[in-house]
């Protein structure tokens, strides 16, 4: 059987049509409405939200067909409980493929290393993550309580690139700017500075020497680690506009 692929061109199936076709192969057109809107793709893991009146054994053929039809899917799980508890977690049952619940989930250009059994994550909130990020203005401070893997915060942090670009534009030749962020995430620290250096050839890093340690990702910048320095995680980069 020829695998199907996600694409945006008109003559190839969209994601929704693809899933509907896979389900129709397994259950026929009479039951496709029961299942097709219940499948989420999180990285290389497919999650089937089990209908109440369906046994797990009935989901096994669907799981195997998903693996055959979508080559990059490596593992298929089914939900075994509703979202519950302080951490909004579900229980899962492994159906097919690799018995692995950890994956790299990508959304709006950001990457999240997640374990679906240990943290709540759903692609169904993708539009909301982007919508809220677009409402954040320069200079605002966002407190994201109960953030989980932090999709709201990290997608918002992408805007820091534009904010930092505006700041270095105001520097005089020879002027310096200290960029710092209260985060251990490279997406909010090193990757932002690397992007600026690629965009602006007149900006360079002035190496920092203590009191913390050099970033293992971007030489010349500095990291404070909670487990090493008894402080909140911080990133520091001193930037200078060339004369």
Question: What is the domain extent for residue 71?
Answer: 15-122
117 and 19 in a common domain: yes
112 and 174 belong to one structural domain: no
> What's the predicted TM-score (pTM) here?
0.64
Number of structural domains the chain divides into: 2
User: Is residue 127 included in any domain, yes or no?
Assistant: no
Long-range CB contacts (within 8 A, 24+) of 118-121: 118/89, 119/87, 119/89, 119/148, 119/149, 120/83, 120/87, 120/88, 120/89, 120/90, 120/148, 121/42, 121/148, 121/149, 121/151
The domain boundary, picked from 104, 122, 140, lies at 122
Chosen domain end from 103, 122, 141 = 122
Is residue 181 in a domain?
A: yes
Residue 67 lies in a domain: yes
As a whole number of angstroms, the distance between CA 146 and CA 161 comes to 25
Tell me, what CATH number does 59's domain have?
3.30.300.110
Q: pLDDT band at residue 18, thresholds of 50, 70 and 90?
A: confident
For 20-52, what is each residue's pLDDT tens digit? 889 989 998 888 788 878 999 999 999 999 988
- Non-local CB neighbours of 111 within 8 Å, separated by 6+ positions: 104, 105, 187
Residue 108's pLDDT is 85
What's the whole-number average pLDDT of the chain? 86
Q: Is residue 162 part of a domain?
A: no
pLDDT at site 159? 67
Identify whether 133 is part of a domain: no
In a domain, 159, yes or no: no
Residue 132 lies in a domain: no
Residue 157 confidence (pLDDT): 74
- Residue 2 belongs to a domain: no
The per-residue pLDDT for range 128-158, each reduced to its tens digit, is 988 888 888 766 767 777 777 888 888 887 7
Where a domain ends, among 98, 122, 146? 122
pLDDT of residue 4: 44
The 3-class SS string of the chain reads CCCCCCCCCCCCCCHHHHHHHHHHHHHCCCCHHHHHHHEEEECCEEEECCCCCCCHHHHHHHHHHHHHHCCCCCEEEEECCCCECCCCECCEEEEEECCCCEEEEEECCEEEEEECCCCCCCHHHHHHHHHHHHCCCCCCCCCCCCCCCCHHHHHHHCHHHHHHHHHHHCCCCCCEEEEEECCCCHHHCHHHHHHHHHHCCCEEEECCCCCCEECCCCCCCEEECHHHHCCCCEEEEEEEECC
């Amino acid at each position: 059987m020829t695998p199907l692929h996600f694409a945006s061109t008109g003559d190839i199936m969209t994601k929704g049509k693809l899933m509907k076709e896979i389900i129709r192969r397994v259950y026929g057109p009479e039951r496709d409405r029961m299942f097709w809107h219940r499948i989420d793709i999180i990285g290389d893991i497919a999650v089937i939200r089990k209908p109440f009146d369906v046994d797990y054994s009935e989901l096994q053929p669907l799981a195997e067909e998903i693996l055959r039809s979508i080559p990059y899917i490596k593992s298929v799980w089914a939900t075994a409980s509703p979202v519950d508890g302080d951490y909004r977690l579900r229980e899962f049952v492994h159906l097919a493929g690799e018995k692995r619940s950890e994956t790299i989930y990508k959304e709006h250009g950001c990457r999240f290393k997640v374990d679906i059994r240990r943290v709540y994550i759903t692609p169904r909130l993708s539009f909301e993550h982007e919508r809220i990020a677009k409402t954040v203005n320069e200079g605002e401070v966002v407190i994201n309580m109960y953030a989980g893997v932090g999709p709201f915060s990290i997608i918002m942090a992408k805007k820091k690139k534009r904010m930092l670009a505006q700041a270095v534009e105001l520097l005089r030749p020879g002027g310096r700017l200290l960029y710092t962020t209260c985060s251990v995430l490279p997406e909010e620290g090193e990757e932002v500075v690397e992007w600026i250096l690629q965009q602006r050839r007149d900006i360079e890093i002035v190496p920092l020497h203590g009191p913390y340690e050099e970033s293992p990702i971007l030489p010349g910048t500095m990291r404070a680690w909670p487990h090493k320095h008894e402080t909140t995680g911080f990133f520091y980069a001193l930037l200078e506009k060339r004369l």
